[in-house]
Each structure stands twice: as C-alpha cells, then as structure tokens.
Amino acid sequence: MHLCKYVIILLFFSSCSSNLEDFRREGKTLSHLLVQDLKQVHTRGELVVMAPTLKKKIEKLVDLMIKAKQHQLKHPEEVFESREENFSEELLEELRRIYALDGGRETMERIEHEALLRLDAFNRSLLKSLQK
C-alpha cells in the first residue's frame, strides 16, 4: 500500500488551480490509465505479465509528483483548491484488490520499488533543504 500513500500526496498537490491545474489533470489521467490496467489483472500471473506496463505508469506518476512539488515550491503564491475526486478512490480500491491476490502484494511492491525509492530520496532531499 506504499503507492496508495503517495497517490494521496499527489492528489493533494495536484488539486490546485492555475498552472497546478495541469498537474491535477495529468495525475487524474495517469491514475485512470493505471486503474484500467489494474482492472485487467485477476491473478498473480496476469500481474507479472502486466508488470512492465504498470511500472512505466507508476514511474510517470512519481515523476509527476516530483514536478508538482517542485512547481509548488517555486510558486508558493498559488493557492490550493480542494476537490473531491473519485478517481483516487477507484485507484486505491484496485490497489487493495491487487494486494489481496495471492502473491499480489509482493509482486506489486517489486513493481513499485524503484519509483518509490526515487520519490523517497526526493522527499528526504527536500526535507533536508527545508531544515537548513
């Protein structure tokens, strides 16, 4: 469920108006595409076959999260506008379903691993720079 936590963070940062609206829109599109791929998975074998596609989409989501945060830091004057979005609930639901499959959690964590390490490194670097 590591990805779930980061998707929620993305949705927070991407639920903004003006230029950040583009991040919200792109995040919604990527999340929708990821949900469609996950809906095709019903077994661990199908998850393994779908792994390269899922990995690419997760990497794009992480790239988007990093860019959205960088944009937010460069433009602190932009105001966040909170929105209800059903696509985040749908993605979380699909990830829960995949994690419940026999071997699904382990396989999904391998798929997410590199992207989440990169996101974690970015967050740690950001935290260090903000503490200075």
Residues 6+ apart with CB under 8 A from 68: 10, 13, 14, 20, 23, 27
Q: Quote the pLDDT of residue 63.
A: 95
Q: What's the one-letter identity of residue 94?
A: E
Summarize the chain as % helix, strand, coil (round to 5). 80, 0, 20
- On whether the CB atoms of residues 104 and 36 are closer than 8 A, the answer is no
- On whether the CB atoms of residues 88 and 35 are closer than 8 A, the answer is no
d(Cα 72, Cα 32) in Å, to the nearest integer?
A: 23
Total domains in the fold of the chain: 1
Q: Quote the pLDDT of residue 114.
A: 96
State pTM to two decimals: 0.80
Q: Please list the pLDDT of the chain residue by residue as tens digits (132 residues).
A: 556 555 555 554 444 444 788 888 898 899 999 999 999 999 999 999 999 999 999 999 999 989 988 988 888 887 656 565 666 789 999 999 999 999 999 999 999 999 999 999 999 999 888 887
The residue segments making up the domain with residue 40 are 2-131
